[in-house]
Amino acid sequence: MKVIICPGVHCPELTESFLYSIAKGTNSYIEWLVFPTQEHLPYSPIAVYDWLNQQALMTEELLFITFSAGVVGGIGAAIALQVQGVRIKAFIAIDGWGVPLWGNFPIYRFSHDYFTHWSSSILGTGKESFYSDPAVEHLAIWRSPETCQGWIVYNDSAQKIPSSAKQYLQQIITYSLNDK
């Protein structure tokens, strides 16, 4: 499975830190592809779609992990790819505050605090979501998800389970990898 990483507008070292944290302990059959935000605008669905098209991924099953401005470009590209027959295994939006999240694939919203979680829920949360508690700064949930403690929220029942952002991300990745 290929995991598409769509970072936001920030230094590349934050994404490297995120990948180091998340990839450690996940399946070795995963290929991590990072959208080059130093060359393209992360909030452009067309730029993300064109880049993915250049990677010849139109017959692959994809999982998206997006952050901040990258949520905008990622969700548009994921919807366009699905219309063309690409299977989107999951779409993870990390701190995509104010970005509508709808699609015919599993969607998970992660937030750096409860306010962002609550105020974004009207724009779509997916079946499950996560928020940090105590709150962390916006970039911390991307730079070091292992340090972000909080709650997994099952949106259909409002049930909450404690977790770290890293543990929950790895759980989603593992589940998506095994979902046939």
Q: For residue range 4-34, what is the model confidence (pLDDT) as tens digits?
A: 999 999 999 999 999 999 988 777 788 999 9
Q: For residue range 119-146, what is the model confidence (pLDDT) as tens digits?
A: 988 888 788 999 999 999 999 999 999 9
Which CATH entry fits the domain spanning 2-178: 3.40.50.1820, 3.60.20.10, 3.40.50.970, 3.30.360.10?
A: 3.40.50.1820
Please give the pLDDT value at position 25.
73
Boundaries of every domain in the chain: 2-178
Report the percentage of the chain scoring pLDDT > 90: 81
Q: Which residues contact 83 (CB under 8 A, 6 or more apart)?
A: none
Please give the pLDDT value at position 50.
96
> Whole-prediction pTM value?
0.95
Please give the pLDDT value at position 127.
81
Please give the pLDDT value at position 94.
97
Crossing angle for the helix pair 12-23 and 165-178, to the nearest 10 degrees: 60
